[in-house]
Amino acid sequence: MISVENVSKSFTLHNQGSTVIPVMAGASLHVAAGECVALVGASGAGKSTLMRMIYGNYLTASGRIMVGDTDVASAAPREVIALRRRTLGYVSQFLRVVPRVPTIDVVAEPLLLTGTGADEARAQAATLLARLNIPERLWGLSPTTFSGGEQQRVNIARGFAFAYPALLLDEPTASLDPTNRATVLAMVQEAKARGAAIIGIFHDHAAREALCDRQVDVTGFTPGLAA
Ligand SMILES: Nc1ncnc2c1ncn2[C@@H]1O[C@H](COP(=O)(O)OP(=O)(O)OP(=O)(O)O)[C@@H](O)[C@H]1O
C-alpha cells in the first residue's frame, strides 16, 4: 500500500548562504495493508522528514513514494489533494485548524469531503469525540483554545473519522492520560484490522511494541551510511 523506493532529500538553507544539507539517501520501505511499521532512529535522524515526504508536505529530490497508485514524489498538487482526501490520513503532533470552526465540524469534515451526508457525518464525529472523552459542552466550540491533550484527541478523532487505507501517525499517544492512550491504541488496532497500512513514530515504547509489526531505523538512510 505504501512503498518508499530509493528516496533522497536535502534541505537548502536559502537564508544561510544557500547551504545544502543532505538528510536522506536510499530510503526504502514497504508497508502492506493491515501492517503497522514504526519509524525509529535517534533524534534528528529524519523520521519526521520521511513522514512529511510521504504526505507530500516536503518535496522529494529523487526516488518514488507510492501510496496506492499515486507517486507522491512526482504527483501534481491536485493529485496530492485527492490522495489526502480518500487514501492517506495523517495525524500530526499538533492540531492545525481554521479558526472559529466548531470541533464537531472539524472532526466531521473528512467525512463530508468523501460524500457522507451532514447529519451522518456529525453523528459519527460525535461518537468519536465521546469515545475520546471530549466533553459534549466543548463540541460547539473551536478547539483553538483547548488544552494540549484535548487538541491532540480532536486531531486523532479527525484523523480516524474516515477509514483511510493508509495512515501516518506522528506520536499519537504523546501526552495522553492512560485511559485515552488505551482508547487510541484500540483505534489503531481497529484500523489495522480493517486493513489500513500504517506508518508511525512512537516515542512511547510500549505503544510501539503493542501496535507495530516491524521497525525501520531511518539512521540507515543517513547519507553516507546508506547501503
Ligand atoms: N525544514 C527544514 N529545514 C532544514 N533542515 C531541516 C528541516 N526539517 C528537518 N531538517 C533537518 O533534517 C534532519 C532530520 O530532522 P527530523 O525532524 O526529520 O528528525 P527526527 O528523526 O524526526 O527527529 P526527532 O525525533 O527529534 O523529532 C535534522 O538534521 C533537521 O535539522
Q: What dihedral angle (degrees, nearest 10) is formed by the CA atoms of 32, 163, 114, 92?
A: -80
Give the integer Cα–Cα distance in Å for 128 and 141: 16
Beta-strand pair 70-71/88-91: unpaired
Ligand 1 centroid – CA 49 distance (Å): 6
Structural domains of the chain ordered from first start? 2-221 (3.40.50.300)
Q: What dihedral angle (degrees, nearest 10) is formed by the CA atoms of 196, 157, 131, 183?
A: 50
Give the integer Cα–Cα distance in Å for 176 and 92: 14
DSSP 90: E
For ligand 1, atom 30, the nearest C-alpha belongs to: 44
Give the integer Cα–Cα distance in Å for 45 and 113: 35
For ligand 1, atom 31, the nearest C-alpha belongs to: 44
Best probe residue, ligand 1, of 16, 49, 205, 208 (max atoms within 8 Å of C-beta): 49
Contact 206, 187 (CB under 8 A): no
Ligand 1 centroid – CA 43 distance (Å): 8
pLDDT digits (tens, 9 = 90+) for 83-97: 999 999 999 988 888
Give the three cell numbers for residue 48: 519526521
Chain-centre distance of CA 75, in angstroms?
Answer: 19
Cβ neighbours of residue 115 closer than 8 Å, sequence gap 6 or more: none
Statement: residue 212 has pLDDT above 80: yes
What is the predicted pLDDT for the residue at 225?
58
ipTM of the complex: 0.93
pLDDT digits (tens, 9 = 90+) for 27-37: 999 999 999 99
pLDDT digits (tens, 9 = 90+) for 134-183: 999 999 999 999 999 999 999 999 999 999 999 999 999 987 999 999 99
